[in-house]
Amino acid sequence: MSNRTFTIVKPDSVANGNAGKIIARIEAEGFRILAGRMTRLSQAQARGFYAVHAERPFYNDLVAYMTSGPVWVMALERDNAVPHLRAVMGATNPAQAEPGTIRALYGESIERNAIHGSDSNENATIEIAFFFSSGELV
């Protein structure tokens, strides 16, 4: 079934000049980009987006990193969109990510790990709505 997911090409990827390669890989994997833009997350956006991690010891560092520079936010569509993107991303820690995955190729550390992808259909819907109005999904 064709469905949707949400991605952030994270600040390290943009800073390192890897955003284009990552977006090309996303397209090569058969995702259709429904909406996308470059933006810089505010403190409030980053805190809200990762609110589920608010009690974790790495939360403040994560917010500082996610607000450190521009990112690409995108709504994506494909069959099995959520699990497929998670597979293409690889494990959270790039050192443990399968060879050839985006995090294995471009991630620098467990924090600076190149890309975000929604972890469920429910969160994909919430995360797309966090950044895009329905009229922007083309």
- State the residue for tokens 């060879």: 99
Q: Quick count: other Cβ atoms within 10 Å of Cβ 53?
A: 13
Is 116 catalytic? The answer is: yes
Calculate Rg over the CA atoms of the chain.
Answer: 14
Q: Of these partners, ligand ATP, Mg ion, none, which one is at the site of residue 62 (CB under 5 to 8 Å by kind)? A: ligand ATP
* Contact partner, 36, from ligand ATP, Mg ion, none, Cβ < 5-8 Å per class: none
SS3 content of the chain, % helix, strand, coil (to 5): 45, 20, 35
| Euclidean distance between CA atoms 39 and 55, whole angstroms | 26
Q: How far is the CB of 14 from ligand ATP (least distance, A)?
A: 14
Catalytic residue of the set 4, 75, 116, 124: 116
Distance CA 65, CA 8 (A): 13
Is 119 among the residues that bind ligand ATP (CB under 6 A)?
Answer: yes
Name the binder of 58 from ligand ATP, Mg ion, none, CB < 5-8 A by kind.
Answer: ligand ATP
Determine if residue 8 is left, alpha or beta; phi over 0 gives left, psi from -120 to 50 gives alpha, anything else beta.
beta
For residue 92, state whether it binds ligand ATP (rule: CB under 6 A): yes
Report the interface residues with ligand ATP, using CB under 6 A.
53, 58, 62, 92, 110-111, 113, 116-117, 119
Report the interface residues with Mg ion, using CB under 5 A.
119
Active site residues: 116
